[in-house]
């Protein structure tokens, strides 16, 4: 049994997070009970990239939900590189298999939208998770946290370490990733509003390549000798920028934060090359994704507040934008990193 956070504060600051003990997921009030055994619903999830800790943690949560629900077959496959064309091929395969629900974390939301339309036309329920395709026909977006919560959390964490002023740069991943770009827009506006003595000097894109992120962060420090901050905008660039600071011998001089998974970030949090990872419970996100897939596959509506499991007992749904919200972002530091095993 893995420990989890069951309470957290919204990351407008780097305040401490309350930890609770280990709990066990229960079947939900909306899970199929009388239906179980009548039909097994195939719910397929296509991540941006298979094999990285983040999406493997989502997969673990999805499997857990499928086992708890009892009438769901959880299918998981993604590209081995963060490539929109390769991801599209997998989506087409699931359409041919005629799964009941198809959920995608699109590398390129615009190019994914026509494929989601094809799936819908084939009678398949469609959704997005982790990353949205807002212009598509998706029935629901399973969102990990609000763009404001993540963007402001990253900014506050970094600028607190930087003393509220100075120059920083962002190393992002996919240039077309809707979620990453939305967080960056929040960081730009929030930095200008709350930290007038701080400045974002550059934004670069390393794909889902940690080594490339390290090299780009090194190049940024060389190009801007007065740089005092770096943000790794995704789970490969977060450890990448911290590694660059460590390699350059600039721990305590250049501060980093990022969207890193706990165990990948642990050594950097411990040696202070990273101040914090702003994230969420990724396995819970996978659990919610599978649950949402089961709901739409069975034509079950979402309530304004959904009791998904014992740990996800009040998941909000907004009809206007058809979004399920996992909850507030978490600050993962050297003090709580061992509460996560992924």
pLDDT tens-digit readout, 153-194: 999 999 999 999 999 999 999 999 999 999 999 999 999 999
pLDDT at 38: 74
Average pLDDT taken over every residue of the chain: 90
Q: Where are the beta strands (DSSP E) in the chain?
A: 41-46, 72-76, 101-104, 125-129, 141-143, 166-172, 198-205, 227-232, 255-258, 276-279, 305-306, 315-318, 323-325, 330-332
Topology annotation, domain 147-279: Rossmann fold (3.40.50)
Q: What is the mean pLDDT of residues 32-37?
A: 44
Q: What is the mean pLDDT of residues 267-275?
A: 98
In this structure, what DSSP letter does residue 74 have? E
pLDDT at 258: 97
Q: What is the mean pLDDT of residues 189-202?
A: 98
pLDDT at 5: 38
21: pLDDT strictly greater than 90: no
Q: What is the mean pLDDT of residues 259-281?
A: 96
Tokens for 245?
A: 């600071």
Distance CA 276, CA 310 (A): 28
pLDDT at 89: 98
CA dihedral 237, 243, 246, 251 (to 10 degrees): 30
**Type and span of the H or E element at 223:** helix 210-223
End-to-end C-alpha distance for the chain, whole angstroms: 13
pLDDT at 35: 46
SS3 76: strand
Tokens for 20?
A: 């609770």
Within this chain, domains 41-145+281-339 and 147-279 share the same CATH topology: yes
pLDDT at 26: 41
- Options 3.20.20.10, 3.30.70.360, 3.20.20.80, 3.40.50.2300; CATH for 41-145+281-339 is 3.40.50.2300
pLDDT tens-digit readout, 42-93: 999 999 999 999 999 999 999 999 999 999 999 999 999 989 999 999 999 9
Sheet holding 141-143, edge to edge: 72-76, 41-46, 101-104, 125-129, 141-143, 323-325, 315-318, 305-306
pLDDT at 105: 98
Q: Identify the residue with better confidence: 68 or 3.
A: 68
Domains of the chain by residue range: 41-145+281-339, 147-279
pLDDT tens-digit readout, 103-120: 999 999 999 999 999 999
pLDDT at 182: 96
pLDDT at 330: 87
100: pLDDT strictly greater than 50: yes
pLDDT tens-digit readout, 253-264: 999 999 999 999
Tokens for 116?
A: 């989601």
Pairing relationship of beta strands 276-279 and 72-76 according to DSSP bridges: unpaired
Q: What is the mean pLDDT of residues 293-318?
A: 97
pLDDT band at 14 (very low <50, low <70, confident <90, very high): very low
328: pLDDT strictly greater than 80: yes
pLDDT at 144: 95
Q: What is the mean pLDDT of residues 214-239?
A: 98
pLDDT at 49: 95
How far lies 236's CA from each of 3, 20, 207, 265, 286, in Å?
Answer: 24, 28, 8, 10, 19
Which sign does the torsion angle of CA 160, 171, 334, 143 carry?
Answer: positive
pLDDT tens-digit readout, 288-298: 999 999 999 99
Distance CA 187, CA 191 (A): 6
279: pLDDT strictly greater than 60: yes
């Amino acid at each position: 049994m893995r420990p989890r956070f069951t309470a957290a504060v919204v990351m407008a600051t780097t305040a401490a997070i309350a930890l609770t003990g280990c709990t066990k997921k229960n079947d939900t009030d909306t899970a199929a009970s009388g239906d179980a055994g009548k039909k097994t619903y195939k719910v397929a999830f296509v991540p941006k990239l298979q094999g990285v800790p983040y999406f493997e943690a989502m997969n673990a949560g999805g499997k857990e939900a499928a086992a708890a629900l009892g009438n769901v077959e959880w299918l998981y496959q993604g590209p081995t590189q963060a490539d929109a064309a390769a991801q599209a091929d997998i989506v087409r395969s699931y359409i041919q298999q005629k799964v009941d629900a198809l959920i995608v974390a699109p590398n390129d939301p615009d190019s994914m939208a026509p494929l989601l339309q094809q799936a819908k036309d084939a009678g398949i329920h469609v959704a997005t998770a982790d990353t949205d395709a807002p212009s598509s026909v998706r029935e629901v977006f399973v969102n990990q946290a609000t763009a404001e919560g993540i963007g402001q959390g990253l900014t506050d964490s970094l600028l607190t370490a930087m003393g509220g002023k100075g120059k920083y740069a962002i190393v992002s991943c996919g240039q077309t990733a809707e979620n990453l770009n939305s967080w960056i827009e929040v960081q730009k506006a929030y930095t200008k509003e709350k930290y007038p003595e701080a400045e974002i000097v550059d934004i670069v894109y390393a794909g889902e390549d940690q080594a490339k992120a390290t090299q780009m962060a090194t190049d940024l420090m060389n190009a801007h000798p007065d740089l005092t901050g770096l943000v790794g905008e995704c789970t490969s660039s977060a450890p990448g920028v911290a590694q660059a600071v460590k390699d350059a011998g600039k721990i305590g001089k250049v501060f980093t934060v990022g969207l890193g998974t706990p165990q990948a970030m642990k050594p950097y949090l411990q040696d202070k090359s990273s101040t914090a990872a702003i994230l969420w419970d990724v396995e819970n996100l996978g659990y919610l994704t599978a649950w949402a897939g089961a709901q739409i596959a069975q034509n079950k509506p979402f309530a304004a507040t959904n009791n998904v499991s014992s740990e996800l007992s009040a998941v909000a749904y907004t009809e206007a934008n058809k979004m399920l919200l996992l909850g507030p972002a978490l600050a993962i530091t050297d003090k709580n990193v061992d509460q996560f095993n992924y």
